[in-house]
Amino acid sequence: MSEQNASAPLLQAVDLYCERDDRILFQGLGCSIVPGTLTRVEGPNGSGKTTLLRILAGLHGGFEGEVLWRGESRDASRESFLRNLLYIGHRPGVKALLTPLENLRALMSGRRELDDARLVDALERSGLSGFTDIPCQHLSAGQTRRVALARLVLSDEPLWILDEAFTAIDHDGVAGLEQLLASRVAQGGAVIVTTHHALALPGMRRIRLGQESHCEF
């Protein structure tokens, strides 16, 4: 990848406006997400953090403005955008009656073909050694979250959008997740994250939502 391409934005938000229940969440909001960066979306409860992430991920259409993917309209390049995006919402999307292995197999379906040995390795590296074949209804909230986050171990998508990824994760899990995020950024990936955790990785960018929404680089 050339230096010019490496510094070109993957995702751009241009003059975003969004309201909910007749209340403006943000207006005139713009940001550029470039490779090799982690951007944290911050703001008080109800300021629109999850809404913004869903807009950026193409899951929320109730907004004005434009979202670009690699310099082109995201709508016009939606297939490429979705193929290069890993989105994990604040709800883990894990089915209680399935085991972690079955869930991860389903979550990765359509992304890439991986044998069970790779899936089990990802689950074990995510802190689920000995739990891969136990139905998720018997796991704790933190273990269930780890099932969803095991996708990060397997992901090669250049853009990660993660909503409250640290929720219910214990101290060891937090350290492991921070390492995963730092490693992804070091490899040239771009990460957008919301979290109540005191995340402060080197070079972290911020999008602050609230009365005066803005980006800090």
The model's pLDDT over 64-83, given as tens digits with 9 standing for 90+, comes to 999 999 999 999 999 999 99
pLDDT tier at 145 (50, 70, 90 boundaries)? very high
Rg (CA), the chain: 17
Tell me the per-residue pLDDT of 158-192, one tens digit each, with 9 for 90 and over: 999 999 999 999 999 999 999 999 999 999 999 99
As given in the structure block, the two tokens for residue 109 are 């379906």
Predicted local distance difference test score (pLDDT) of residue 49: 96
Average confidence (pLDDT) over 119-145 = 97
Residue 142: the pLDDT is 95
**CA distances from residue 174 to 20, 67, 90, 203 in whole angstroms, order as listed:** 32, 31, 16, 19
What integer is the mean pLDDT of 187-207? 93
Task: Give all domains of the chain, ordered by start, each with its CATH number.
Answer: 1-82+192-217 (3.40.50.300)
pLDDT of 192? 98
pLDDT of amino acid 60: 94
Q: In what order do the strands lie in the sheet with 72-73?
A: 23-33, 11-20, 64-69, 72-73
Which of 101-110, 158-167, 207-216 shows the lowest per-residue confidence on average (mean pLDDT)? 207-216
1: pLDDT strictly greater than 50 = no
Q: What are phi and psi of 35, to 5 degrees?
A: -60, 150
Q: Scan for tokens 């780890």, then name that residue.
A: 146
- Would you say 40 and 53 are in contact if contact means Cβ atoms under 8 Å apart? no
Q: Per residue in 43-54, pLDDT tens?
A: 999 999 999 999
Residue 4 has pLDDT above 80, yes or no: no
- DSSP bridge pairs for 11: 33, 69
Report helix, strand and coil shares of the chain as percent, to nearest 5. Answer: 35, 25, 40
